[in-house]
Chain A
Amino acid sequence: MRQARFTRNIWLGIENLLLHKLRSFLTMLGVVFGVGSVVAMLSVGEGASKHALEQIRKLGSNNIIVASMKSAEEEQASTQHSHMSIYGLTYEDHRRLSESFKDIRATAPAKLLRKDSRLGERTMELRVVGATPAWFDLVPRDIVAGRALLPADQEKRSPVAVLTEFGARKLLATESTIGQTLRIGGNQFEIVGIIQSESGQAGNIQIPDQDIDVYIPLDVAQRYFGDFFAKRTAGSEEREKVELHQIIVQVDDPRNAESVGAGIETMLALFHKKRDYVVSVPLALLKQAEATKRTFNIVLGSIAGISLLVGGIGIMNIMLASVTERTREIGIRRAIGAKRMQIVFQFLIETVVLSTTGGLIGLGIGVLIPALIRYFSGMPTVLTMNGILLPLFVSVGIGIVFGLYPAMNAARVDPIIALRHE
């Protein structure tokens, strides 16, 4: 019975709003856009940050990545003719590093090379990584076929190659390719396996195996290709000497990642004259990303708050005008016997119906926009339950908060004055 009465009240509210369709629609536009933009922004923001966090997590929360980097001075000097740049991590750095920290469980040094390669009739430049078997423990990926590099390959300096899925696709290699010969920079390698690869970018640092085509044992890479590289760019030749391009360090406990990262920085600073390396701690990045996300949420929340406030004020404004316009109607209802609270309730229901309808339409728009973004740009978007329910509750709340003042105004109408002949 109470329930039926409540639905009837809502129904009459809707009926009343339908008497002024255009006005009701315009009144709720503020809430429509407020809620719409909040839902859309939350969804896009949530998608972006979730993506970033996932990528960072892929780096491993107890990994530290130390990479060679041409220092700024070197970059300047290398524009001159026949200059030889010597920079980056050395074998000595790797030895010191793996011996100096008790919290380090394993290290994986690597050389990154670009070499013209040939498989069967296909020839192309491949990105080759000289790595130790430890790599595959630190950057674990599923084996698609065959095997990864083994300690025996390193000891025997076997000329074997493990393709990534990415490289395999380039070379049109399949499982049956295993055992065949891959020529890398004029040297013969036996393909022993294919492993999965990850793509993508984690903020401003690369995933270790991003864009890699093939792995060979580190010692083999050093013996065959040495530490000197020649890069031809726009007619001029650039020569570099880099011993190791990257060292992945795994600590025993993620809690030590940041302190070990700092220790590595200090140690490298001691032995390097220039800053030709960069130490990145994924865990620190993760924390940073989470902090960024929090900031983003606060900013979003403020924007949402402001836009919903504006929407609410819009509703209040129109409802106040509506109360003035309907003074006579209110007077009639009061004269007939409506109590003040019933008048408050009537107007409150109208505003809540307005703001909630606005909220629902806004929600529709807010769900549609991220879907379109996802469809056209492939950007990930995430709709969370909170992202839907919160704006809805807020729009009901807006109706109540901003409807209360006009509704109380309505209840204050004196029937005698309202009904005096015009």
Chain B
Amino acid sequence: MSTATSPKQGHEIVRLENAWKVYQMGTEDVKALRGVNITFGKGDFWAIMGPSGSGKSTMMNVLGCLDRLTSGAYYLDGQDVSQLDDDALSELRLKYLGFIFQSFNLIPQLTVQRNIELPLYYLGWDAVRSAQRAQELAEQVGLGDRLSHRPTELSGGQMQRVAIARALTNDPQVIFADEPTGNLDSATGVQIMEVLTRLNQQGKTIVMVTHEPDIAAYANRRLHMIDGNIDRIEEGAYVTAPGPVTARVSPQDVSRRAGTFARPDEDVTRAARDA
């Protein structure tokens, strides 16, 4: 059983304690996570690496509150969420988490604007404010002039940027990205990583799965998994990562009380200050 903590930042955002995930396949049990212990700190940028089938996606789904552990505990910003019901998990995803997927997962029938607005719709924002927010975020990812396009009219890199904008609408505490560059060529992949790096510099915690070392290089911590458990952890700044690593965390983040989440509205103003 391997243990890892992030000693540099004082505040944890994500912690797994003896986390097990077992899938029942007929009579056979598939143990996708085997007693994982890990803590991610606020403002960290983690890359999760490892061979196919080692449990990376399973761990991401659990961390992203899309799935529940078979046993063990999951603390999200100090709160044990492993026993929460479906509605409560949905609420956590809606208010505090952001997702970026390998296959973008935009709704093809909806325009870029509608796709970005989607979380706001469930958050109950009115149409005018939602449109403003969508515009703002689209500009932030360099797609301010593509709001009325459909995803099919965009390139892969553009689609992924729309997905990032969508993940940012609720100003999430943590962004989970499962192989965000997996479907992109390397040049476009670099652009996406630059966007993610900038977000991390603005204070966002990012957890990303990848098996490309040069993509993982953008993260400041790398977790290697094998057979449903942690193999080893690498720490340290990176050749390609721009900017001083220590400047990443704003004082507000550190001073925020653990165990509570700020409302997205407050976060909007904070993000504006940080920018």
On whether the beta carbons of A338 and B103 are closer than 8 Å, the reply is: no
Q: How far is the CA of A331 from the CA of B118 in the complex (A)?
A: 13
Q: How far is the CA of A422 from the CA of B97 in the complex (A)?
A: 24
On whether the beta carbons of A416 and B102 are closer than 8 Å, the reply is: no
On whether the beta carbons of B90 and A339 are closer than 8 Å, the reply is: yes
Say if the beta carbon of A329 comes within 8 Å of chain B.
Answer: yes
On whether the beta carbons of A335 and B105 are closer than 8 Å, the reply is: yes
- Residues from chain B with Cβ under 8 Å of A340 in the complex: 86-87, 90
Name the CB-closest residue of B to A421.
B103
- Residues from chain A with Cβ under 8 Å of B123 in the complex: 337
Name the CB-closest residue of B to A415.
B66
Say if the beta carbon of A234 comes within 8 Å of chain B.
Answer: no
- Residues from chain A with Cβ under 8 Å of B86 in the complex: 339-340
- Residues from chain A with Cβ under 8 Å of B67 in the complex: 416
Q: Min CB distance, A335 to chain B, in Å? A: 6
On whether the beta carbons of A416 and B118 are closer than 8 Å, the reply is: no
Q: How far is the CA of A419 from the CA of B95 in the complex (A)?
A: 20
Name the CB-closest residue of A to B167.
A336
- Residues from chain A with Cβ under 8 Å of B107 in the complex: 329, 332
Q: How far is the CA of A421 from the CA of B118 in the complex (A)?
A: 21
Say if the beta carbon of B157 comes within 8 Å of chain A.
Answer: no
On whether the beta carbons of B109 and A19 are closer than 8 Å, the reply is: yes
Mark contacts of A298-342 with chain B using CB atoms, 8 A cut-off: 1 yes-contact digit, 0 otherwise: 000000000000000000000000000000110111111111111
- Residues from chain A with Cβ under 8 Å of B127 in the complex: 8
Q: Which of A5, A331, A336 lies in contact with B94, CB distance below 8 A?
A: A336
Say if the beta carbon of B126 comes within 8 Å of chain A.
Answer: yes
On whether the beta carbons of B87 and A337 are closer than 8 Å, the reply is: no
- Residues from chain B with Cβ under 8 Å of A338 in the complex: 90, 94, 122
Q: Min CB distance, B271 to chain A, in Å? A: 19
Say if the beta carbon of B124 comes within 8 Å of chain A.
Answer: yes
Name the CB-closest residue of A to B182.
A421
Q: Min CB distance, A195 to chain B, in Å? A: 71
On whether the beta carbons of B101 and A419 are closer than 8 Å, the reply is: yes
Q: How far is the CA of A107 from the CA of B93 in the complex (A)?
A: 89
Q: How far is the CA of A340 from the CA of B118 in the complex (A)?
A: 15
A5 touching B66 in the complex, CB below 8 Å, given contacts A336-B118, A338-B90: no
Q: How far is the CA of A318 from the CA of B192 in the complex (A)?
A: 39
- Residues from chain A with Cβ under 8 Å of B103 in the complex: 419, 421-422
Name the CB-closest residue of A to B179.
A421
Name the CB-closest residue of B to A340.
B86
Mark contacts of B52-95 with chain A using CB atoms, 8 A cut-off: 1 yes-contact digit, 0 otherwise: 00000000010010110000000000000000001100111111
- Residues from chain A with Cβ under 8 Å of B90 in the complex: 334, 337-340
Q: Which of B95, B99, B102 lies in contact with A335, CB distance below 8 A?
A: B99
- Residues from chain A with Cβ under 8 Å of B66 in the complex: 335, 415-416
Interface of chain A, main secondary structure? helix
Q: Which of B61, B87, B109, B166 lies in contact with A336, CB distance below 8 A?
A: B166
Say if the beta carbon of B41 comes within 8 Å of chain A.
Answer: no
Q: Min CB distance, B229 to chain A, in Å? A: 21
The number of chain A residues touching the other chain, given as a range, is 20 to 34
Q: Min CB distance, B147 to chain A, in Å? A: 16
Q: Min CB distance, B91 to chain A, in Å? A: 7
Q: Min CB distance, A51 to chain B, in Å? A: 53
- Residues from chain A with Cβ under 8 Å of B92 in the complex: 337
Say if the beta carbon of B119 comes within 8 Å of chain A.
Answer: yes
A337 touching B95 in the complex, CB below 8 Å, given contacts A5-B124, A415-B66, A416-B66: yes
- Residues from chain A with Cβ under 8 Å of B102 in the complex: 421
- Residues from chain B with Cβ under 8 Å of A415 in the complex: 66
Q: How far is the CA of A328 from the CA of B121 in the complex (A)?
A: 18
Q: How far is the CA of A419 from the CA of B93 in the complex (A)?
A: 15
Name the CB-closest residue of A to B106.
A332
Q: How far is the CA of A19 from the CA of B61 in the complex (A)?
A: 31
Q: How far is the CA of A322 from the CA of B67 in the complex (A)?
A: 25
Q: Min CB distance, B214 to chain A, in Å? A: 22
| Segment 1-27 of A: residues with Cβ below 8 Å from B | 4-5, 8, 12, 16, 19
Name the CB-closest residue of B to A337.
B94
A328 touching B105 in the complex, CB below 8 Å, given contacts A339-B87, A339-B91: yes
Q: Min CB distance, A178 to chain B, in Å? A: 79
- Residues from chain A with Cβ under 8 Å of B109 in the complex: 16, 19, 329
Q: Min CB distance, B143 to chain A, in Å? A: 18
Name the CB-closest residue of B to A422.
B103
Name the CB-closest residue of B to A332.
B105
Q: How far is the CA of A350 from the CA of B97 in the complex (A)?
A: 29
On whether the beta carbons of B99 and A416 are closer than 8 Å, the reply is: no
Q: How far is the CA of A329 from the CA of B122 in the complex (A)?
A: 14
A335 touching B122 in the complex, CB below 8 Å, given contacts A419-B101, A421-B103: no
Q: How far is the CA of A83 from the CA of B107 in the complex (A)?
A: 93
Name the CB-closest residue of B to A418.
B105
- Residues from chain A with Cβ under 8 Å of B61 in the complex: 416
Partner-B contacts on A (CB < 8 A): 4-5, 8, 12, 16, 19, 328-329, 331-342, 415-416, 419, 421-422
12 A–B pairs (Cβ distance < 8 Å), ordered by A: A329-B107, A331-B105, A332-B105, A332-B118, A334-B90, A335-B66, A337-B95, A337-B123, A338-B90, A339-B122, A416-B66, A422-B103
15 new A-B contacts, CB < 8 A, other than A8-B126, A337-B90, are: A5-B124, A332-B105, A332-B106, A333-B118, A335-B93, A335-B105, A336-B118, A336-B119, A336-B166, A337-B94, A337-B95, A338-B122, A342-B122, A416-B66, A421-B102
Partner-A contacts on B (CB < 8 A): 61, 64, 66-67, 86-87, 90-95, 97, 99, 101-103, 105-107, 109, 118-119, 121-124, 126-127, 166, 170
